[in-house]
Structure 1
Amino acid sequence: MDIFDKLIDDFNNSSAWLEFFIVVGGLLLAYVGVRWWGASLKDKGRASAIWFGHRPVSGAMFPLLALLLIYSAQLVVTHYMPVFWLRVAVSLLFSLTIIRFVARVLSKTFPQSTSMRLLEKVFSWAVWGVAVLQTLGLLPAVTGQLESISLTLGKSQINLLSLIEGVLSAGLMMVFVLWIASLFEQHVINRWVSDLSMRKVGMNITKVVLLTVGLLVSLSWVGVDLTALSVMGGAVGVGLGFGMQKIASNYVSGFLVLLERALRIGDNVRVDGFEGRITDIKTRFTVIRASNGREAIVPNETLITQRVENLSQADRQFLLSTTIVVGMDSDEVLVSEILLGAASRQPRVLSNPAPSVQLVDFVEHGLQFTLSYYINDPQNGQGNIRSQVNLALLQSLREAGVSLPVPKQIVQFLPHPDGAAASVAVPAAASSSPREST
């Protein structure tokens, strides 16, 4: 009961109104300072979402600045009288600063990860619990109990307190490393590297190096002998050579794709029959998005070992084509003019290089023509421009009286009302002509 007696004594002897005004004043000064500072940085395009957020109170800078102001006031007031509310406010603001910083870094680094959201909640509850224990003065007793619990790991013993401190220090170090990597990407890579693929290379290398250094520093803090990691490194090498060779191959292939720049983010490619635009090149796989919104996850090894068509030219022009068959007696000059006119009338079709028409083959039903044309905005969709060209082409052919051959009919067997089977000839393509029974 000594702890609670001391709390009650501090509460009775403290000047509640004075401490209340100090806390409110510190919060107001922090709000005004963060709002002014954040507005000035946003005008220059340098405001960090981690520290300032979308609103003055949503970032980590607001609780940090309030913590510094109120803690400074606590150091002064403590010389003259016992404090209670100032100590509570400092503990809460310290916890809120850590929670805000960790949550903003994780949400910025892993924006779509549900596991990170769960980790944020668990970490927040743990920090708030430590803050409550610190405020009540129970934290030394709890840490003493945790230190008395020992765990045996092989030939060594470790207490539960050291294990928890090691996990927390390693986690905080990883978050700090991710924040440093984010700053490096924002202020160095994005400013000095214009190519998206090279940005990805720089960011991947930065994260790997910083995370490795941070992990080694965290292990040394806990007391792990780093020389013992040489055995682990050999085991990892053997694992990569046998069980993890595909993962290692995809990982190395990703860096090769980015460094060689044969394929770049934004290129339109065709891989194994799937055609789309490269939206991201990750360490193990590449994301390709088709014009209809579908995405293909392609292992990076596939881009190195198999045939990949890069449909994007050096000047970012994208080739499309339409193939059509007309009657054998059609005027080939008129058909060519109709095909060229259907493409030229579309605003998205480039005039340089101009659309072209080729008579590519003599097929069973007539003459086969191919219309080729270029666009420079495939990200706006390829199916819609193809549809516009085809509709204009079909309308012009019908107006000019050009004959379009009827596709070969397909015979289907349909049940007759009296139970006998009857064959019905159905056109392969949709037609307005009535069905003809035989």
Structure 2
Amino acid sequence: MEQKFVAAYDFLINWLNANVLTWNTAAQWACVFGSYVLTALIWRGFERRLFEQVDQKKLSSLSRSILRAVVDAGNVAAFVVVMQVCTAVFESMDLRPGVLDAASDLAVAWIVIRLVTSIMPNRVLARAVTGLVWVVAAFSIFGLLGPITDSLSRLSFSVGEAKFTALGVIKGVALAAIFLQAAALTSQFITKRIESVHDLSPSLQVLLTKTFKVLLYTGAVLFAMSSVGIDLTSLAIFSSALGVGIGFGLKTVFSNYVAGILLLMDNSIKPGDTIEVGGVFGVVRDMRGRYASVLTRNGKEHLVPNEQLITGEVVNWTHSDTNIRLEVPVGISYESDLDKALDLLSRAAVGMERVLHDPVPAARLVGFGDSSVDLVLRFWIKDADQGVTNVRSAVLVRVWHLFHEHGIEFPFPQRDVLLKSDSALSVRLDREPDDG
């Protein structure tokens, strides 16, 4: 081990003496740093205005990301041009511009990497990949990649019967990141294509989208594991044994996922439906693998487990038809004109903004109560997702005004007390004396 460190130290010293610690290389490093600072300062003013122009244009997220990457790489492109001028000057003086050539190659590599990673959806991972690939390119340009990879390949460890090297682990992580990002991009493309097919129902679109996502991400992970030498056969045996144990502990989670698949297949509940479940009334915004998102009229978003939608009672107001009938109960006094009250009640819903003209609103006599004659107004709407309490309130306000205009009285509870002559209960009326 000590000999390995000594050999690495000697290699580093020799590389520094040959490539850094000379007057020629010192002058070239000065040109590199000076040119970078100069181009960065000059480009900063243009960069801000170009970013503003890109943000003002109506572009897709992918196109905007690529254009921002082009603007971001502008100062590096200018740096490459200055490096080529400096290289020509050094060559004219019969000096070998090794550092300048390396700096130019690194700058070009950074531009290419920045443009390629601009299409990655995860920006944090994109920056990490940019830095990692650029470091690898730098080692390769300066001739350090070979010795470093040889050292990493000699660092090994074992997990059971499997043997891994540090280089293999690094490659595995890098490949996993690449495959997962490729799966994410492919998934976004497929999702957009599926959503553009209007012949598919919303539930079938969600089901196909989630199926492709699972297949793509699973394939990405398996390809990454296989590329670093992990035996997938032994992994399958281990995962089957582990799955039995996990299955008992995650029974509810698995049942929710299965229920979600069933809901998407039978099309009983789909995004956009207005449902009522467990005291929650709202519109289904999204259906995930474990739950459905239901947005209520007060802005609360309820995450209802899929299992509850399968086993519980669910009222789907818009399952096969968006038209629904609402009922508004109204009571009138026994002294009121019944025929006029029924006519006014029917007229109250006619001409309302959200009330349908066909079927025509209808008023009905439904019973005789203790203190009132019980009527009901029935009318239809087609937009239950916009709320039902608000349209009921608007109709009741119009009923209030019409009844008052035409002398129809609203009843209130009354009781008549009859005292028999032989009753033991005595009643005495006390009146205040008249001051006058």
TM-score, normalised to structure 1, is 0.71
Contact 2:355 2:379 in 1 (8 A): yes
Contact 1:343 1:373 in 2 (8 A): yes
Matching of residues 93-132 of structure 1 within 5 Å: 93-102=111-120, 105-106=121-122, 120-121=123-124, 124-125=127-128, 127-128=130-131, 131-132=134-135
Matching of residues 126-141 of structure 1 within 5 Å: 127-128=130-131, 131-132=134-135, 134-135=137-138, 137=142
Partner of 2:376: 370
Partner of 1:275: 281
- The one of 382, 389, 402 aligned to 2:395: 389
Partner of 2:215: 209
2:67 partner amino acid? V
Matching of residues 300-311 of structure 1 within 5 Å: 300-311=306-317
Partner of 1:259: 265
Deviation per residue, 1:142-192 (Å, 9 max, x gap): 655555544443344433332232123212211111211111222355236
Contact 1:190 1:199 in 2 (8 A): no
Partner of 2:298: 292
> Distance between the aligned counterparts of 1:259 and 1:63, measured in 2?
48
Partner of 1:114: none
Contact 2:363 2:375 in 1 (8 A): yes
Deviation per residue, 1:250-277 (Å, 9 max, x gap): 1111111111112222111111221111
2:138 partner amino acid? T
Larger Rg over CA atoms: 2
> Distance between the aligned counterparts of 1:139 and 1:358, measured in 2?
88
Deviation per residue, 1:369-413 (Å, 9 max, x gap): 23222222334443432322222122222222222233699xxxx
Secondary structure at the residue paired with 2:331?
A: strand
Deviation per residue, 1:19-46 (Å, 9 max, x gap): 99xx99xx9xxx9xxx9xx9xxx99xxx
Identity %: 25
Any stretches of 5+ residues in structure 1 without a counterpart? 107-119, 410-438
> Distance between the aligned counterparts of 1:62 and 1:255, measured in 2?
44
Q: Which stretch shows the higher mean deviation, 199-208 or 354-363?
A: 354-363
Shift of 1:236: 4.7
> Distance between the aligned counterparts of 2:212 and 2:372, measured in 1?
61
Secondary structure at the residue paired with 1:354?
A: coil
Partner of 2:7: none
The 1:344–1:63 alpha-carbon spacing in structure 2 relative to 1, beyond 3 Å, is farther
1:356 aligns with 2:359: no
The 1:313–1:301 alpha-carbon spacing in structure 2 relative to 1, beyond 3 Å, is closer
> Distance between the aligned counterparts of 1:313 and 1:135, measured in 2?
61
> Distance between the aligned counterparts of 1:373 and 1:236, measured in 2?
58
1:233 aligns with 2:244: no
> Distance between the aligned counterparts of 2:242 and 2:158, measured in 1?
25
The 1:292–1:60 alpha-carbon spacing in structure 2 relative to 1, beyond 3 Å, is farther
2:213 partner amino acid? K
Shift of 1:244: 1.7
Contact 1:146 1:159 in 2 (8 A): yes
> Distance between the aligned counterparts of 2:146 and 2:334, measured in 1?
95
Secondary structure at the residue paired with 1:262?
A: coil
Partner of 2:327: 321
Q: How many residues align?
A: 372
1:91 aligns with 2:109: yes
Q: Which stretch shows the higher mean deviation, 134-143 or 304-313?
A: 134-143
Secondary structure at the residue paired with 1:279?
A: strand
RMSD: 4.1
Any stretches of 5+ residues in structure 2 without a counterpart? 1-12, 92-96, 416-436
Contact 2:371 2:414 in 1 (8 A): no
Partner of 1:183: 189
